[in-house]
């Protein structure tokens, strides 16, 4: 599991090189093999090495601060002659929590009191790697209480729920930077979908929707453009979402694909007058099947397939009429009504050739992500406020997308840098689809080549 904030001044290659040199020392290797007879021994050994490494690092920081080494008397005399006298003034011990439990370290002092160590900052009681571990556990779906129990049982670290919450709150600045980042000026397709979450509002818990926008860029790469939480969507809400995207740089969209969200078509048309709002076909099929008994769903889905795979609107209307007149149509009139009510937002889909239709057919890319988010949010039950929900969902998305990026990198046999802005895979069949969209929108398309 990757962490949210990338490590600064961290050189994995250098660390590996030093580790290999240490292990090449036969005496050290012999001592390690003599001690490490169990996983617990190995953990304690690593803890001891961590302590020694931190103490050595703190001494190196003091050397750099003073301008001379501990036993370098010649340089010390030169420095103290050229500058006001400042030298070592003993040390003190402090205990810090780490990913291997509590570690006691020795922090050097200087006479002037100006030494400010970076490895273990003044007042710090935790190493940053423990903070990263807590954030990663939180991103993986564990609650604050779960993390508290995990730290106590595995590391012997006693940490309050408030402290854990404070650590995870440290990512809020990153969330806001991500939520307000500049976007591309043009996305051929934007998908919108919602995830239901429970959020405390005073003395009651209300169901709210977290809306997610995924834009497909000119290269077919999917990007999560933003997250917005609302109890009830409507014209004002969608106007604010569209304005947010426009203010962050989105000047044009060919198609916005969604699930019949109230007020969205008007907001899209007001923000991007030439854009088209398309109802998600999979959502239509699911909405129609809500009225159908389980044993008839395959038959109904098969009949409705004739509607959305039709060559044009006339053929699609004839197929829907035929379904309505059939035994299944008479048995489930509400399923027919679902399609009749959504007809105006469905038929634009029929003007596109097959490759473009496949891209617009479904919001599966969002729904698969939402399915993983639901698993993680189920453990929490409810969130104390909108900000906590947004923070948690963002961390989960980072965690999920970093895993996917690592899997793609492994398959492609190349390195990948996680912790960047969230992005997904390439839309299936994108090259064919973008060619067909270019034919459908020749004038507008040329502006973004």
What pLDDT is recorded for position 6?
37
What pLDDT is recorded for position 122?
79
- Report CA-CA distances (Å) from 433 to 206, 257, 360, 449: 41, 15, 10, 15
Q: Is 21 among the domain residues?
A: no
Written as one string, the DSSP assignment of 21-45 is HHHH-HHHHHHHHHH-SSHHHHHHH
What pLDDT is recorded for position 384?
84
Q: Is 47 among the domain residues?
A: yes
**Nearest alpha carbon to residue 215 among 244, 190, 183:** 190
In our burial notation (b when 16+ CB lie closer than 10 A, e otherwise), range 318-344 reads ebbeebbeeebbeebeebbebbeebbe
Burial label for 287, CB within 10 Å (0-12, 13-18, 19+), is buried
Q: Is 55 among the domain residues?
A: yes
- State the Cα–Cα distance between residues 201 and 302, nearest whole angstrom: 44
Per-residue pLDDT of the chain (449 residues; tens, 9 = 90+): 333 333 445 566 665 665 666 556 666 556 566 655 555 655 666 666 666 767 777 787 788 877 777 666 666 666 665 556 777 888 888 877 766 677 787 888 888 888 887 777 777 676 666 677 777 777 666 778 888 888 788 777 787 888 788 777 777 888 888 889 999 999 999 988 888 888 988 888 898 888 889 898 888 888 889 999 988 777 889 999 999 999 999 999 999 988 777 888 889 989 999 898 888 888 888 889 999 999 999 999 999 999 999 999 999 999 999 999 999 999 999 999 999 998 988 888 888 888 888 888 766 667 777 777 887 777 777 888 888 888 888 888 877 766 665 565 566 655 544 444 345 567 778 888 888 888 888 877 777 76
Together in a domain, 266 and 379: yes
Q: Is 54 among the domain residues?
A: yes
Please, are residues 366 and 191 in contact by the beta-carbon 8 Å criterion?
yes
Together in a domain, 226 and 363: yes
Together in a domain, 117 and 208: no
Together in a domain, 101 and 230: no
Question: Whole domain around residue 271: which residue ranges?
Answer: 183-426
Q: Is 72 among the domain residues?
A: yes
pLDDT in tens, 64-117: 877 777 666 666 666 665 556 777 888 888 877 766 677 787 888 888 888 887
Together in a domain, 44 and 189: no
Q: Is 447 among the domain residues?
A: no
Together in a domain, 202 and 293: yes
Q: Is 166 among the domain residues?
A: no
What pLDDT is recorded for position 58?
75
Task: Give the chain's domain count.
Answer: 2
Final residue belonging to a domain, choices 124, 141, 163: 124
Together in a domain, 74 and 212: no
Together in a domain, 110 and 189: no
Which neighbouring-strand residues pair with 257?
A: 191, 278
Q: Is 333 among the domain residues?
A: yes
- Please give the biggest Cα pair distance in the chain: 102
Final residue belonging to a domain, choices 74, 107, 124: 124
Rg (CA), the chain: 29
Together in a domain, 252 and 350: yes
pLDDT in tens, 211-226: 889 898 888 888 889 9
Please, are residues 262 and 277 in contact by the beta-carbon 8 Å criterion?
no
- Report CA-CA distances (Å) from 305 to 78, 156, 282, 361: 86, 58, 11, 12
């Amino acid at each position: 599991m990757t962490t949210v904030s990338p490590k600064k001044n961290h050189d994995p290659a250098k660390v590996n090189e030093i580790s290999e040199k240490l292990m090449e020392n036969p005496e050290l290797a012999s001592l390690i093999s003599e001690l490490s007879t169990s996983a617990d021994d190995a953990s304690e050994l690593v803890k001891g090495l961590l302590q020694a490494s931190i103490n050595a690092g703190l001494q190196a920081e003091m050397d750099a601060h003073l301008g001379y080494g501990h036993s370098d008397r010649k340089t010390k005399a030169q420095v103290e002659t050229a500058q006001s006298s400042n030298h070592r003034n003993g040390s003190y011990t402090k205990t810090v929590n780490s990913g291997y439990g509590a570690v006691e370290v020795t922090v050097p002092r200087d006479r002037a009191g100006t030494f400010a160590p970076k490895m273990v900052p003044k007042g710090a009681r935790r190493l940053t790697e423990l903070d990263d571990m807590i954030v990663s556990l939180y991103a993986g779906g564990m609650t604050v209480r779960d993390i508290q129990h995990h730290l106590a049982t595995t590391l012997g670290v006693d940490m309050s729920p408030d402290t854990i919450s404070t650590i995870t709150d440290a990512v809020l600045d990153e969330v806001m930077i991500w939520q307000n980042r500049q976007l591309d000026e043009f996305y051929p397709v934007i998908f919108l979908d919602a995830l239901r979450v429970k959020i405390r509002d005073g003395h009651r818990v209300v169901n709210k929707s977290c809306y997610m926008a995924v834009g497909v860029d000119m290269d077919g790469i999917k990007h999560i453009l933003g997250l917005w939480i609302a109890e009830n969507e409507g014209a004002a809400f969608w106007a604010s979402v569209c304005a947010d995207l426009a203010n962050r740089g989105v000047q044009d969209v060919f198609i916005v694909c969604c699930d019949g969200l109230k007020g969205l078509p008007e907001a899209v048309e007001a923000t991007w007058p030439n854009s088209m709002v398309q109802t998600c076909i999979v959502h239509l099929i699911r909405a129609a099947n809500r009225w159908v008994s389980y044993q008839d769903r395959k038959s109904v889905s098969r009949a409705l397939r004739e509607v959305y795979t039709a060559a044009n609107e006339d053929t699609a209307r004839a197929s829907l009429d035929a379904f309505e007149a059939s035994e299944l149509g008479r048995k489930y009139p509400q399923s027919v009504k679902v399609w009749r009510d959504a007809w105006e937002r469905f038929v634009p889909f029929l003007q596109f050739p097959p490759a473009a239709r496949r891209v617009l057919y479904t919001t599966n890319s969002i729904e698969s992500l939402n399915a993983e988010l639901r698993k993680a949010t189920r453990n929490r039950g409810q969130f104390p406020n909108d900000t906590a929900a947004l923070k948690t969902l963002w961390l989960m998305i980072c965690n999920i997308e970093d895993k996917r990026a690592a899997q793609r990198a492994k398959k492609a046999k190349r390195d990948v840098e996680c912790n960047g802005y969230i992005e997904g895979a390439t839309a299936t069949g994108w090259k064919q689809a973008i060619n067909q969209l270019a034919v459908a929108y020749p004038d507008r398309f040329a502006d973004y080549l």
